């Protein structure tokens, strides 16, 4: 036959063999890679891409996250450029107008409006978000970016805005919260005073609202407007599951230099001592040192709201200095509180070991070869001896086990936030496949 002489049949057999080889190779491709095309088609609208109308898109986030010097230098130069600083600021009025059409707002801002996994759907979280005017002017913008980064429909969010904030801030944040059925303004706002009792009261008010609004959430996390997550929602859920009902927060023996904060009475405004010596703690509860940031189970919150020992401790603490830096830590060591640990110092937990928050204190920073340093030097700037992170801190931050980091400021380094949220969004979507 003519086609046999020309080797046509041999070419056909070779073609079939190649198809068979390709099919066999496809069986060896990992499941995640094999399903990648479906992810691209279905969820690409949720990705932060370089096609977005974000001024920060000119930065090389991949290079920044890998610590590349050229990418970091370009980012640093941009952050001090006046024209760049001008175009990255979003005024409060934008949010008031944009939220007139909630569906369009959610879509344009790329909110995740459906549970990304069954594991996340079955493990809802409760957040207190205390927004107060301290170091940053555009704190509506900071708040909205934080909300977008942690938002999922199965979680619940209570937002407390400092009562003395400008009217435009109230209007903008209220407009944003109105677009989500599981985000609400606290029922009772207070004037938040630095190092005063009202900082604790803001969280307490949200705790009560969250506890009474929903019976399904498993853990409570409190945030401020300058926090940002280091993990995806799925990673947060998995970390909390691994606690097996325990809590994670700083709680250790109080340093000698801080003891005057609880032995003397203070005025709320200005942090001035009144000259009065405080009575011993109710029920002789030992006072432990900690910070404002906590990750606690629902039972802990119930105890805060109902336990008579804790109610007495709360009343006792109202005229102390910076009560947020000992109250939660002390409650964590009260026997019988769900998820608590024994008050013996063997159970002390530092902020480095707890997963609640990564905060860089200036006096613990040092060079990479220093054996005394707790963490590397801040690549951003310092406010009250706390590092306000820059883009150069991201490579180190994403390697930490903490769920959140403090502080970020979109006014000073929007690129740090942009690259971190872009990284987290990509990671969250990859987890789908």
pLDDT digits (tens, 9 = 90+) for 364-387: 999 988 889 999 999 999 999 999
Q: What is the mean pLDDT of residues 295-318?
A: 98
Q: Could you give the residue numbers annotated as active site?
A: 325
Least confident of 126-135, 191-200, 265-274, 281-290: 265-274
Residue 174 φ then ψ, to 5°? -65, -40
pLDDT tier for residue 139 given thresholds of 50, 70 and 90 = confident
Residues 413 and 391: their CA atoms lie apart, in Å, by 7
State the pLDDT at residue 17.
Answer: 55
pLDDT of residue 16 exceeding 70? no
Cis peptide before 407 (omega within 30 of 0): yes
Mean local confidence (pLDDT), 127-141: 79
Considering the chain, what percentage of its residues have pLDDT values greater than 70?
88
pLDDT classification of 15: cutoffs 50, 70, 90: low
pLDDT in tens, 226-257: 999 999 999 999 999 999 999 999 999 999 99
Could you give phi then psi for residue 196, rounded to 5 degrees? -100, 175
CA-to-CA distance for 117 and 233, rounded, in angstroms?
10
Model pTM score = 0.89
The one-character DSSP state at 248 is B
The pLDDT of residue 134 is above 70: no
Query: Are the CB atoms for 219 and 295 separated by under 8 Å?
Result: yes
Model confidence at 11, in pLDDT bands (50, 70, 90)?
low
For helices 298-306 and 197-213, angle between their N-to-C axes, nearest 10 degrees: 110
Q: What integer best gives the mean pLDDT of the chain?
A: 90
Which range of 8-12, 275-279, 298-302 scores highest in mean pLDDT? It is 298-302
Could you write out the DSSP letters of every residue in 321-383?
Answer: SSGGGTHHHHHTTSTTSTT---SSGGG-B-TTTSSS-EE-BGGGEE-TT-SS-SEEPPSSEEE
Q: In the prediction, which pLDDT does 13 show?
A: 55
Q: How confident is the model at residue 20 (pLDDT cuts 50, 70, 90)?
A: low
Is residue 26's pLDDT more than 60?
Answer: no
pLDDT of residue 44: 81
Short-list 95, 107, 241, 84, CA closest to 175: 95
* Three-state DSSP class for residue 268: coil
Sheet with 219-224, edge to edge strand ranges: 183-185, 156-161, 125-131, 219-224, 295-297
Residues in the chain: 433
253-296 per-position pLDDT tens digit:
999 999 999 999 998 665 567 779 999 999 999 999 999 999 99
């Amino acid at each position: 036959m003519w086609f046999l002489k020309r080797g046509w049949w041999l070419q056909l057999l070779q073609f079939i063999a190649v198809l068979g080889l390709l099919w066999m190779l496809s069986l060896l491709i990992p499941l995640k890679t094999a399903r990648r095309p479906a992810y691209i088609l279905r969820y690409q609208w949720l990705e932060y891409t370089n096609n977005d109308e974000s001024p920060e898109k000119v930065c090389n986030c991949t290079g920044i996250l890998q610590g590349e010097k050229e990418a970091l230098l370009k980012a640093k130069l941009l952050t001090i450029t006046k024209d760049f600083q001008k175009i990255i600021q979003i005024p409060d009025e934008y949010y008031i107008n944009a939220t007139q059409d909630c569906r369009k707002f959610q879509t344009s801002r790329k909110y995740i409006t459906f549970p990304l996994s069954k594991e996340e759907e079955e493990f809802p979280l409760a957040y207190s978000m205390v927004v107060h005017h301290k170091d940053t002017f555009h704190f509506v913008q900071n708040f909205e970016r934080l909300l977008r980064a942690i938002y999922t429909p199965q979680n619940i969010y209570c937002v407390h805005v400092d009562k003395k904030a400008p009217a435009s801030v109230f209007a903008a944040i209220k407009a944003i919260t109105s677009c989500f059925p599981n985000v609400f303004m606290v029922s009772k706002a207070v004037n938040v005073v630095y190092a005063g009792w009202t900082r604790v009261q803001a969280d307490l008010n949200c705790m009560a609202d969250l506890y009474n609004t929903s019976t399904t959430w498993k853990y409570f996390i409190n945030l401020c407007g300058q926090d940002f997550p280091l993990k995806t929602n799925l990673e947060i859920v998995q970390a909390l599951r691994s606690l097996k009902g325990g809590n994670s927060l700083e709680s250790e023996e109080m340093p000698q230099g801080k003891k005057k904060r609880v032995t003397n009475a203070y005025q709320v405004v200005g942090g001035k001592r009144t000259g009065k010596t405080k009575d011993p703690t109710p029920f002789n509860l030992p006072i432990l040192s900690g910070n404002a940031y906590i990750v606690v189970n629902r039972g802990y919150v119930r105890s805060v709201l109902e336990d008579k020992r804790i109610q007495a401790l709360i009343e006792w603490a109202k005229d102390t200095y910076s009560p947020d830096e000992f109250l939660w830590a002390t409650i964590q060591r009260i026997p019988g509180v769900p998820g608590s640990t024994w008050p013996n110092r063997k159970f002390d937990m530092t902020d480095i070991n707890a997963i609640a928050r990564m905060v860089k204190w200036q006096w613990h920073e040092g060079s990479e070869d220093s054996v005394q340093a707790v963490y590397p030097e801040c690549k951003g700037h310092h406010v009250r001896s706390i590092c306000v992170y820059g883009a150069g801190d991201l490579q180190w931050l994403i390697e930490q086990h903490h769920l959140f980091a403090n502080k970020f400021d979109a006014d000073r380094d929007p690129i740090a936030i942009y690259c971190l949220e872009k990284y987290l969004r990509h990671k969250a979507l990859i987890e789908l496949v």
